[in-house]
Amino acid sequence: MNYDRISFYKDRIAINLLAKDRDNAVEVVEALDGNALVGVLSKNFPDAEACAKEVRYYLEKLPNVSVGMGDGDPTMAARAAQVAAMTDPGHVNQSFTEAMYCAGLLKASGCESTMSNCMIYPTGTPGTVQISTGCVSTFGEKGLVSVDTALNMMKDVGLISVKFFNMHGTEHLEELKVLAEGCARLGIPVIEPTGGLTPENAVPVVKACLDAGVDRVMVHIYSSIIDKQTGKTDVDLAVKAYRNLQALVD
């Protein structure tokens, strides 16, 4: 598993976003110099094959697609993994527990250039994270562990990207800092902060990760850059976010 197919601005920053359709996806990715991935959400389709068909359609025009669960819904994790195994999209979103299954499925399917992330939840306590983010464990007793324990468990199966959801903007910034420091120390090269992010508040979030020494940051910016009238991702707002983040590494 690697991130070689994904383009990061100056090998540091990429933006994960949504689009109304393929045309909107292409215009946004082009406006961001290719340093962006557009999500296709498993939750929006009746089954894995229908989602895979849409992913293949996007891949005709884009180098990568980010297969998502949809609002971080862990009940869609297995479907997202199946879609990724059928399409080799470049990126797939996963819960903590199903990411282990996904890693094996991708390898068995020959999709070793597709990177799976691994979703953990904040807890309100810096240094402690919730790894019970799967389709069953999310709804049961919380599985709380140290940052180092979570990251080392990811390394056990070759996972290289941690998704921190839900950030609620900058509400969990201090927790993100500790997680990012752990990624830098333990060799997890990619971190993906997600949830409630805008072109403005994404700046301190990404800066915290970069300052901690993480190799690459893929920040997820969704509803704040979507035009509520058209349903399209607003290219100007996406570019605004991109320019704000470029300034961190220029």
d(CA 192, CA 118): 9
The count of residues in the chain is 250
Average pLDDT over residues 67-82: 96
Contacts for 98 with CB less than 8 Å, ≥ 6 apart: 74, 77, 78, 81, 134, 135
For the chain, what is the mean pLDDT? Answer: 97
Query: Taking the CA atoms of the chain, what radius of gyration do you get in angstroms?
Result: 16
Q: Supply the CATH number for residue 162's domain.
A: 3.20.20.70
For 171-203, the pLDDT digits (tens) are 999 999 999 999 999 999 999 999 999 999 999
Tell me the torsion sign for CA atoms 121, 122, 126, 128. Answer: negative
Domain assignment of residue 27, given as a range = 13-249
The vertex-202 CA angle with 197 and 205, nearest 5°, equals 110
At 161, the pLDDT band (50, 70, 90 cuts) reads very high
Q: Is 203 contained in some domain?
A: yes
pLDDT for residue 42 is more than 90: yes
Our count of domains for the chain comes to 1
- Residue 149 falls within a domain, yes or no? yes
Inside any domain, residue 39: yes
Whether the model clears a pTM of 0.95, i.e. scores above it, the answer is yes
- At 199 the pLDDT is 98
The Cα-based distances of 241 to 3, 32, 149, 171, 185 in angstroms read: 22, 10, 33, 19, 28
Angstrom distance (rounded) from CA 27 to CA 237: 13
Model pLDDT, residue 225: 98
What percent of the chain lies above the pLDDT cut of 90? 99
Average pLDDT rounded to a whole number, residues 15-34: 98
